[in-house]
Amino acid sequence: MVQVLRTGPFGQGNASKKVNEAFSREQPNRGSGVENSGWDKAKMNKKDKSRKWMWGILGTIAALQVYFIQELLAAFALFALGFLAIAVVIGSLYMVHRAWALTVERAAESRHPALVAMRHGIDSVEDLARRPFRRPGSAAAR
């Protein structure tokens, strides 16, 4: 910070010597290309190397995190595809069952002669199945 000494009632005075001393103690502008003998380049190089290590470590951590996130997303996608496949199989089996039930129901209500003959045959087989194998009162085979 530059301090100007005010020696007169309105700030006038010969303060240029103090201003020049204050400017000579400050660090030079980095962009101006002005070199100062007091500027420590070794300290700057050490600071730059530390920054390089810091950014390298942060970059490595970020890359590991991105890889970890990619692995999680890949696992999620595989599980989602697996569950989707299971849901499609179950859904298709349900739709086939409903279609079969509707078809059987409509066939049972139909009056088509072929279906009437088939129902008559099924009824006669059921009657045969209800009859006992032995006549009532016969002795059991030993």
- Per-residue pLDDT of 37-50, as tens digits, reads 555 666 666 677 78
What CA–CA distance (Å, rounded) separates 23 from 38?
13
- Does one domain contain both 66 and 15? no
- Does one domain contain both 55 and 25? no
Residue 89 belongs to some domain of the structure: yes
**Residue corresponding to tokens 């039930």:** 101
What CA–CA distance (Å, rounded) separates 23 from 36?
12
Residue 5 belongs to some domain of the structure: yes
SS3 assignment, position 7: coil
What CA–CA distance (Å, rounded) separates 114 from 102?
19
Q: Which residues form the domain of 24?
A: 1-30
Residue 82 belongs to some domain of the structure: yes
pLDDT of residue 86: 98
What CA–CA distance (Å, rounded) separates 77 from 88?
16
pLDDT class of 15 with cuts at 50, 70, 90: low
Residue 64 belongs to some domain of the structure: yes
Residue 142 belongs to some domain of the structure: no
List, for residues 77-106, the tens digit of each pLDDT value. 999 999 999 999 999 999 999 999 999 899
Q: What is the pTM of this model?
A: 0.40
pLDDT of residue 26: 52
Residue 14 belongs to some domain of the structure: yes
pLDDT over 80 (residue 13): no
- Does one domain contain both 107 and 89? yes
Residue 138 belongs to some domain of the structure: no
pLDDT of residue 141: 65
Residue 140 belongs to some domain of the structure: no
What CA–CA distance (Å, rounded) separates 113 from 116?
5
- Does one domain contain both 23 and 86? no
